[in-house]
């Protein structure tokens, strides 16, 4: 008999066999009535407790389950109410904002999102446009981006936005870099001086880049808004999906890498020109003979200059040449460092291939490098920079004549 074997007291079969025989007689009549009841009885009989105790345990268990169910129901109801209340509050806040400014907030339609999914996903940008006719001032607000494409190995990006107008491209603004995020909140505004007549012929370009300390910054996507299509009666604010960058317009002049080191106690500024890549070909045969000119300006006056050696017939020269200048701590705040790449020509005039400048009033990547150098005294800080056209840099930074020789001493 299985009941006997399962019993812990197999040496005293009388104590365990008694309830088994009892059970077989009581359930014999029930089994014919209902097999389910028969099974339940079978189970109950196997439990070595009096029936009233088993029923009491069942009752307490059922009561506990009932209480648990009631608690869960209550919680769910409370959450639902909270969400409803929050939604109500949001609605009220939005209405308040909309009441103050005539903002048209446009979310991309579901249909648009579906259409965009066939293209490469780059994320979207919330921007605003406002034109002040009396002051001929266009204000571009870069608010936030969402769901940006990841460009770095860790599945994230370090986004910043470049803003300029076409075709003038007189000023190029950049937002701060937001490290390791695909949903940055930039909240920056940039102003451009544009007359009413040229406003309608202009296009605002907003490009989101991924910042990289030691390699070229990659473009994530861009928006181009033709200003003739904008309704200027109210502030325009909208989300737009980022598009693939238009390659035709971006003139690539190559990149240059150099390190900067400033030692305040010794009043020494050291620049190491490391290398350049992807330079423009200036000579017949598709090559150039590049060298780098380094110029220091003090209070926007030409001050000191040096040059690297010439690297013949290459678009990717490697220099690793170091230059040290005496610059006191007082002067470093008023200094501009102008770096330009030139193509050497034996017979004709040398041509400028690209230029950038650094200093306390530089912008974007150049300002970042300068600030990193100042905040890390005695430590060399290396960084890549995209070269700009010499005309563009000259229009932003106009240097006056050279500082006369006799006035060099007192500095």
Angle between helical axes of 35-46 and 13-33 (0-180°, round to 10)? 160
The whole-angstrom separation of Cα 358 and Cα 337 is: 5
CA distance 295 to 80: 66
- Smallest separation, CB 285 to Ca ion (Å): 10
Q: In terms of CB distance, is 370 or 384 closer to Ca ion?
A: 384
Residue written as tokens 């009396």?
134
Question: How many residues lie near Ca ion (CB under 5 A)?
Answer: 8
Instruction: Name which of 210 and 238 has its Cβ closer to Ca ion.
Output: 210
Q: Is 341 in the site for Ca ion (CB under 5 A)?
A: no
Is the alpha carbon torsion for 143, 144, 149, 150 positive or negative? positive
Measured in residues, the chain has a length of: 411
The two structure tokens encoding residue 317: 């020269």
User: Using CB under 5 A, which residues numbered 138 to 157 contact Ca ion?
Assistant: 152
H/E element holding 296? Answer: strand 290-298
Contacts with Ca ion in 174-213 (CB under 5 A)?
210, 212
**CA neighbor of 240 nearest in space, from 168, 355, 147, 103:** 147
Single out the residue of 42, 249, 251, 345 in contact with Ca ion (rule: CB under 5 A): 345
Asked if 343 interacts with Ca ion (CB under 5 A), we say yes
3-state secondary structure of 362: coil
Q: How far is the CB of 350 from Ca ion (least distance, A)?
A: 8
Which of 181, 395 has the CB closer to Ca ion?
Answer: 181
Give residues 261-300 in contact with Ca ion (rule: CB under 5 A).
Answer: 283, 289
Is residue 215 a contact residue for Ca ion (CB under 5 A)? no
> Rule CB under 5 A: is residue 158 a binding residue for Ca ion?
yes
Min CB(288)–Ca ion separation in Å: 6
CB of 245 to Ca ion, least distance (A): 17
Q: How far is the CB of 148 from Ca ion (least distance, A)?
A: 11
379, 380, 386, 389: CA torsion to nearest 10? 100
Residues that bind Ca ion (CB under 5 A): 152, 158, 210, 212, 283, 289, 343, 345
């Amino acid at each position: 008999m299985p009941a006997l074997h399962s019993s812990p007291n197999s040496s005293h079969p009388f104590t365990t066999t008694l309830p088994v025989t009892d059970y077989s007689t009581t359930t014999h009549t029930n089994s014919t009535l209902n097999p389910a009841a028969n099974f339940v009885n079978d189970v109950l009989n196997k439990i070595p407790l009096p029936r009233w105790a088993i029923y009491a345990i069942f009752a307490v268990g059922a009561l506990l389950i009932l209480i648990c169910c009631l608690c869960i129901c209550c919680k769910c109801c409370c959450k639902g109410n909270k969400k409803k209340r929050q939604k109500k509050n949001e609605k009220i806040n939005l209405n308040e904002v909309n009441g103050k400014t005539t903002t048209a907030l446009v979310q991309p339609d579901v249909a648009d999102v579906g259409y965009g999914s066939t293209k490469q996903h780059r994320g979207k940008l919330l921007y605003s446009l406002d034109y002040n006719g009396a002051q001929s001032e266009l204000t571009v607000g870069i608010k936030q981006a969402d769901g940006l494409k990841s460009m770095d190995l860790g599945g994230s990006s370090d986004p910043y936005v470049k803003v300029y107008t076409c075709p003038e491209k007189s000023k190029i603004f950049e937002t701060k870099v937001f490290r390791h995020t695909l949903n940055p909140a930039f909240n920056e505004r940039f102003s451009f001086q544009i007359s009413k007549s040229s406003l309608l012929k202009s296009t605002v370009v907003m490009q989101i880049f991924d910042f990289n300390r030691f390699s070229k910054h990659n473009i994530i996507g861009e928006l181009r808004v033709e200003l003739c299509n904008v309704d200027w009666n109210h502030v325009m604010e909208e989300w737009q999906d980022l598009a693939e960058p238009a390659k035709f317009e971006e003139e690539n002049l190559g990149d240059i890498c150099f390190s900067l080191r400033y030692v305040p106690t010794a009043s020494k500024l050291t620049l190491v020109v490391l290398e350049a890549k992807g330079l423009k070909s200036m000579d017949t045969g598709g090559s150039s003979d590049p060298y780098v000119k380094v110029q220091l300006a003090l209070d926007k006056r030409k001050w000191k200059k040096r040059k690297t050696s010439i690297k013949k017939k290459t678009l990717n020269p490697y220099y690793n040449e170091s230059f040290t200048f005496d610059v006191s701590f007082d002067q470093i705040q008023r200094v501009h460092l102008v770096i330009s790449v030139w193509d050497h020509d034996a017979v004709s005039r040398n041509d400028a291939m690209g230029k950038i400048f650094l200093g306390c009033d530089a912008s974007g990547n150049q300002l970042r490098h300068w600030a990193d150098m100042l905040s890390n005294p005695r430590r060399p800080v290396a960084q890549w920079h995209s070269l700009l056209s010499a005309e563009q840099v000259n229009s932003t930074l106009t240097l006056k004549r050279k500082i006369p020789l006799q006035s060099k001493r007192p500095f």
